[in-house]
Chain A
Amino acid sequence: MTRRTINVEYLARVEGEGALNATIRDGVVEQVELNIFEPPRFFEAFLRGRDFREAPDITARICGICPVAYQMSAVHAMEAACGGALPDPLHVLRRLLYCGEWIESHVLHIFMLHAPDFLGCHGVVEMAKTHGDLVRRALRMKKAGNAIVATVGGREVHPVNVRVGGFYRAPRRADLLKLRDELQWARDAAIETLNWAAGLPYPDYERDYLLVALRNPSHYPMNEGRIVSSAGLDIPYDDFENHFQEIHVPHSTALHGRTKQGRSYLVGPLARFALNHDRLSPEIVALAEKAGLTPSCRNPYKSLIARAVEVLFAFDLALEIIDGYREPDAPAIDVEPREANGRWATEAPRGLLYHRYEIGDDGLIKEARIVPPTSQNQPSIEKDVRGVIEANLDMADDVLQHRCEQTIRNYDPCISCSTHFLKLNIERLTGDEAQA
């Protein structure tokens, strides 16, 4: 019997700080823990006593990669609490802003964080030496997404233009039309991305996930929908807490999401695509299939293809919105506070993001609860890593270690969101050795 220890100081190319601890005793995986030690920042605590109109600016600061997602869940939850439905042009502008964030976040992950795993590089700068055209195309696509966020939201990171009730200033039609040519180039680049993604070496691994995503009668889900699952769950978005729970485990400052029955589940692009492919255009579904992604796909490494599909979708949708855009009469509707409880879920780039607020008639927040996608995916990440180690025990330590990191990166984990770094320790023990 031998003892093998794999120890990686830090897992790179994720947003935030954590570690993975895996113990293998006599060739059997004993324990896998995604150890998140990102310092807690206590958003839900200091939101209490703040004005309900401050929630979109404050919660944006949970994550610099997906601030729009936090702003969208927050403003919708507040509008749900206080009453008031947005007229169509404002609603559509929110979708446009969200398109920008999906593009910026997905392109960052596909090319800068995830692709190096498939191409055998350490990062995007190294990748630029061997795959210069690819990296330049990626940067240009990302810039096109960021340009949407900057035009509609005022700046790329922590946009300033989102408010409860709509926007501070609606963009001029001429401002949006300026984005058009570059978006047209970028949607073709997104098709090239899918063709490129088809040729990547995806490890053979599948798991029977419980998939959870929003679903909406007419659109691929972004800002609204019912919560559905691959097991037939179909509930209103505000019923989330009756079906899902968060559990505090000792090894993580991020809470762990599970169903009320204790089952782990998967949110994010793979789940969204599987549950909502019929809401995409036949052209996009055909391109996805050509790239190797079908609705029945349960290979987590192919989440890269699902992101690429959603990038193409978001470019097409952004173009459609811009072409049909009419400047609204007012940039926002009035939303007056009342004593109420508001709940909402939107689809952040990494998956379902649920907010609940209780506010008083003075407009002050009494209680806040935020359930980010990475918290919900944590148990699933641990299960995947366990499965991958079990299926690859013969691998050399450094290869197995890399495969585990790649498996975690499938999730595009945003550890800053879920609290919040990854240090990887794989320990191989024999029966007579004490656990570290």
Chain B
Amino acid sequence: MAKPKLAVWKFASCDGCQLSILDLEDELLALAETVEIAYFLEASSKTVAGPYDLSLVEGSITTPHDAERIQDVRRQSHKLVTIGACATAGGIQALRNFADVKEFTKAVYARPDYIKTLETSTPIEDHVTVDFNLRGCPVDKKQLLEVVSAMTFGRKPMIAADSVCGECKARGSVCVAVAEGTPCLGPVTHAGCGAICPAYGRGCYGCFGPSDAANMPATARLLQAQGLSEDEIVRILRTFNAYAPAFREESEKHDAPNDQC
């Protein structure tokens, strides 16, 4: 039987999620024996034409060219999995969605007329059908391996969709929000990282994006009670998953005080 063909695609991103494949130091060679790494430009100059059994897509859509390219990737892919906050939520670059991109271009580039970019940075799911979204900024490499194994062999990935709090309890960390009053997005953030931040004595900053049943208003009230200003609540929600609906909608409530009285 021919090995399943794997492709890895990059859109607007930092490369960190696809790097996680190369960071699978103990599993990379075994993975390459199980699947055919047919298209992965960061790792090999040899490319095999599609169609592909599984495409991993990193990055968000920010240019007219990429909005077309993702359609082509979808057409060539039996299964398409997004990897990381850029692909699942638009990434840190989606902060432009709350601002004027023309002004952004002027702030960074001397000749804005040389730059072609869209007004927004949007997740892959806004453009094509996605078979599975793997969250994280960056993704967890063991979860990535699980998704690749599951998808190439036609089973459902075993990826928990609850919050970081569960992982934090399992790790045996002291709750930084309760014990120290540290602002923490753990209650509303998608599990997957293993609750690293509280184990290092800091509050979760939401890099895996909102969990499936995130109670945003309750968390916002807790953040307020811990002394965060409205501006600070907007900032804590608007980082790497700023455009994920749950974080976006809650941040908008705090960004427009005049509509909220």
Q: B104 to A128, Cβ gap below 8 A?
A: no
CB-based nearest B residue for A136: B29
CB-based nearest B residue for A143: B25
Q: How far is the CB of A48 from chain B (nearest CB, A)?
A: 7
Q: Which residues of B sit under 8 angstroms from A253, Cβ to Cβ?
A: 109, 114-115
With the chains together, A156 CA to B136 CA distance in Å? 13
- Given A13-B41, A50-B235, 9 more A-B residue pairs with CB atoms under 8 Å apart are A17-B10, A41-B92, A42-B96, A42-B101, A116-B45, A124-B44, A146-B23, A155-B196, A160-B197
Q: B42 to A57, Cβ gap below 8 A?
A: no
Q: How far is the CB of A370 from chain B (nearest CB, A)?
A: 10
Q: Taking the complex as formed, is B103 at the interface, i.e. its CB lies under 8 A from any CB of chain A?
A: yes
Q: Taking the complex as formed, is B186 at the interface, i.e. its CB lies under 8 A from any CB of chain A?
A: no
Within 8 A of A (CB), among B85-109: 91-93, 95-96, 99, 101, 103-105, 107-109
Q: Taking the complex as formed, is A108 at the interface, i.e. its CB lies under 8 A from any CB of chain B?
A: yes
Q: How far is the CB of B102 from chain A (nearest CB, A)?
A: 11
With the chains together, A51 CA to B111 CA distance in Å? 28
Q: Taking the complex as formed, is B110 at the interface, i.e. its CB lies under 8 A from any CB of chain A?
A: yes
Q: Taking the complex as formed, is A205 at the interface, i.e. its CB lies under 8 A from any CB of chain B?
A: no
Q: Which residues of A sit under 8 angstroms from B159, Cβ to Cβ?
A: none
Say whether, besides A46-B99, A158-B207, A169 and B32 are in contact (CB < 8 Å): no
Interface string of B65-103 (1 = CB under 8 A from A): 110000000000000000000000001110110010101
At the interface with chain B, which of A58-66, A281-289, A316-324?
Answer: A58-66
- Residue of B105, B207, B240 near A42 (CB, 8 A) is B105
Q: How far is the CB of A178 from chain B (nearest CB, A)?
A: 16
Q: Which residues of B sit under 8 angstroms from A146, Cβ to Cβ?
A: 23, 25
At the interface with chain A, which of B12-20, B162-170, B244-252?
Answer: B12-20
Q: A168 to B201, Cβ gap below 8 A?
A: yes
Q: How far is the CB of A421 from chain B (nearest CB, A)?
A: 8
- Residue of A51, A65, A161 near B15 (CB, 8 A) is A65
With the chains together, A360 CA to B135 CA distance in Å? 34
Q: B44 to A160, Cβ gap below 8 A?
A: no
Interface string of A98-119 (1 = CB under 8 A from B): 0000000000100010001000
Say whether, besides A45-B104, A124-B43, A157 and B205 are in contact (CB < 8 Å): no
With the chains together, A67 CA to B17 CA distance in Å? 12
Q: Which residues of B sit under 8 angstroms from A37, Cβ to Cβ?
A: 65
Q: A44 to B16, Cβ gap below 8 A?
A: no
Q: A128 to B93, Cβ gap below 8 A?
A: no
Q: Which residues of B sit under 8 angstroms from A249, Cβ to Cβ?
A: 114
With the chains together, A64 CA to B42 CA distance in Å? 12
Say whether, besides A45-B104, A51-B235, A128-B29, A39 and B62 are in contact (CB < 8 Å): yes
Q: B114 to A157, Cβ gap below 8 A?
A: no
With the chains together, A63 CA to B16 CA distance in Å? 7
With the chains together, A154 CA to B104 CA distance in Å? 32
Q: Taking the complex as formed, is A211 at the interface, i.e. its CB lies under 8 A from any CB of chain B?
A: no
Q: How far is the CB of B138 from chain A (nearest CB, A)?
A: 4
Within 8 A of A (CB), among B1-55: 10-20, 22-23, 25-26, 28-29, 32, 37, 40-47
With the chains together, A108 CA to B19 CA distance in Å? 10
Q: B43 to A40, Cβ gap below 8 A?
A: no
Q: Taking the complex as formed, is A140 at the interface, i.e. its CB lies under 8 A from any CB of chain B?
A: yes
Within 8 A of B (CB), among A242-291: 247-250, 253, 255
With the chains together, A249 CA to B44 CA distance in Å? 29
Can you name 30 A-B pairs with beta carbons within 8 Å? A10-B47, A13-B41, A13-B42, A37-B65, A39-B11, A39-B66, A42-B93, A42-B101, A44-B107, A45-B104, A46-B93, A48-B107, A50-B235, A51-B235, A58-B239, A61-B16, A64-B138, A67-B14, A108-B19, A125-B28, A125-B29, A157-B19, A157-B138, A160-B197, A168-B202, A250-B111, A250-B114, A253-B114, A414-B15, A420-B12
Q: Taking the complex as formed, is B200 at the interface, i.e. its CB lies under 8 A from any CB of chain A?
A: yes
Q: Give the interface size bracket for B toward A.
A: 35 or more
Q: How far is the CB of A208 from chain B (nearest CB, A)?
A: 29
Q: Which residues of B sit under 8 angstroms from A337, Cβ to Cβ?
A: none
Q: Which residues of B sit under 8 angstroms from A136, Cβ to Cβ?
A: 29
Q: Which residues of B sit under 8 angstroms from A42, Cβ to Cβ?
A: 93, 95-96, 101, 104-105, 107-108
Q: Which residues of B sit under 8 angstroms from A61, Cβ to Cβ?
A: 14, 16, 91-92, 137, 240
Q: B105 to A123, Cβ gap below 8 A?
A: no
Q: Taking the complex as formed, is B149 at the interface, i.e. its CB lies under 8 A from any CB of chain A?
A: no
Q: A16 to B15, Cβ gap below 8 A?
A: yes
Q: Taking the complex as formed, is B219 at the interface, i.e. its CB lies under 8 A from any CB of chain A?
A: no
Q: Which residues of A sit under 8 angstroms from B96, Cβ to Cβ?
A: 42, 45-46
- Residue of A62, A169, A405 near B14 (CB, 8 A) is A62
Q: B46 to A126, Cβ gap below 8 A?
A: yes
With the chains together, A44 CA to B29 CA distance in Å? 39
CB-based nearest A residue for B194: A155
With the chains together, A125 CA to B108 CA distance in Å? 39
With the chains together, A125 CA to B46 CA distance in Å? 11
CB-based nearest B residue for A42: B104
With the chains together, A14 CA to B15 CA distance in Å? 10
With the chains together, A135 CA to B26 CA distance in Å? 11
Q: Taking the complex as formed, is B223 at the interface, i.e. its CB lies under 8 A from any CB of chain A?
A: no
Q: How far is the CB of B50 from chain A (nearest CB, A)?
A: 14
Say whether, besides A45-B107, A128-B32, A39 and B12 are in contact (CB < 8 Å): yes
Q: A12 to B41, Cβ gap below 8 A?
A: yes
With the chains together, A43 CA to B108 CA distance in Å? 8
Q: Which residues of A sit under 8 angstroms from B232, Cβ to Cβ?
A: 51
Q: How far is the CB of A392 from chain B (nearest CB, A)?
A: 19
Within 8 A of B (CB), among A66-94: 67
**What 8 A-B pairs are tightest by C-beta distance, nearest first?**
A64-B16, A123-B44, A122-B46, A12-B45, A45-B104, A143-B25, A248-B110, A46-B95
Q: Which residues of A sit under 8 angstroms from B196, Cβ to Cβ?
A: 154-155, 160
Q: Which residues of B sit under 8 angstroms from A154, Cβ to Cβ?
A: 196-197, 199-200
Q: Taking the complex as formed, is A331 at the interface, i.e. its CB lies under 8 A from any CB of chain B?
A: yes
With the chains together, A237 CA to B66 CA distance in Å? 39
Q: Which residues of A sit under 8 angstroms from B108, Cβ to Cβ?
A: 40, 42-45
Q: Taking the complex as formed, is A226 at the interface, i.e. its CB lies under 8 A from any CB of chain B?
A: no
